[in-house]
Amino acid sequence: MPDQTVKVSFDPNANPQFTFDPDRVRMTASGKVIFQRRGESATWTFTGGAVKEDPYKEFSSSVQGQGRVLQMDDKCEHKMDHEYTITVELNGTSHTSPDPVIVNDPGGGGP
């Protein structure tokens, strides 16, 4: 499954502050994980994203659309789970997410 979309909600006053839909992304081939802001009236912006441990250098990320979208490129060459974080900015303050997961399963089939 190349190119997966994740809807992200952020509210600094909520618990949890971040929600991801889905919270686990399964990649079976190289592609992009596309993070989109949930809610048209959201005023926060994406400023970055990173995989916590990337021993094979399979990931890179870029902010698109003036911070409305974060794209994470995944080469998906090695079968393993990857925790990642995203960083957003709201009113000049940065906030970093907890650790959702990208599951790399190259050549894998099914949901």
- pLDDT tops 70 at residue 69: yes
pTM given for the model: 0.89
Within a 10 A sphere around the Cβ of 18, how many other Cβ atoms? 19
Tell which residue, 101, 83, 86, has the closest CA to residue 37.
86
pLDDT value of position 39: 83
- pLDDT tops 60 at residue 58: yes
Q: CATH top-level class for 4-104?
A: mainly beta
SS3 per-residue string spanning 44-111: CEEEEEEECCCCCCCEEEEEEHHHCEEEEEECCCCCEEEEEEEEEEECCEEEECCCCEEEECCCCCCC
pLDDT value of position 99: 76
Q: Looking at residues 2-9, what average pLDDT do you find? A: 93
